């Protein structure tokens, strides 16, 4: 009867340029992350803790430096190189 509670998870994928990937690898080596996956998890949870404090399960306060990193995130616009092309809808009223 000692079963672990299963947590549902979802995989999040991000595409980056080869140059950005190499930068991420260098950051992993510099700061001691084992993989880019571990770095992505760290960044994702840091972001969640900073911007959604009411649902944060950790009681420790988030350092002000981390909160300030995400303060300017009010406009979630992607750089132009990452935008997806959207198909043009044609009118059926001819």
Q: If pLDDT is split at 50, 70 and 90, which confidence band does 49 have?
A: confident
Q: If pLDDT is split at 50, 70 and 90, which confidence band does 86 have?
A: low
Give the pLDDT mean for 28-39: 93
Q: What is the DSSP string of 9-74?
A: ---------HHHHHHHHHHHHHHT-S-HHHHHHHHHHHHHHHH-GGG----SPPPHHHHHHTTTTT
pTM of model > 0.75: no
Report whether pLDDT(94) > 60: no
pLDDT at 33: 93
pLDDT at 35: 94
């Amino acid at each position: 009867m000692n079963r672990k509670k299963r947590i549902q998870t979802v995989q999040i994928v991000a595409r980056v340029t080869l140059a950005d990937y190499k930068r991420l690898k260098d950051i992993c080596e510099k700061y001691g992350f084992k993989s880019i996956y571990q770095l992505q998890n760290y960044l994702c949870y840091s972001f969640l803790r900073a911007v959604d404090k009411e649902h944060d399960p950790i009681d420790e306060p988030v350092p002000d430096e981390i909160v300030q990193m995400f303060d300017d995130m009010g406009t979630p616009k992607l750089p132009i190189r990452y935008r997806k092309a959207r198909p043009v809808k044609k009118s059926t009223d001819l």
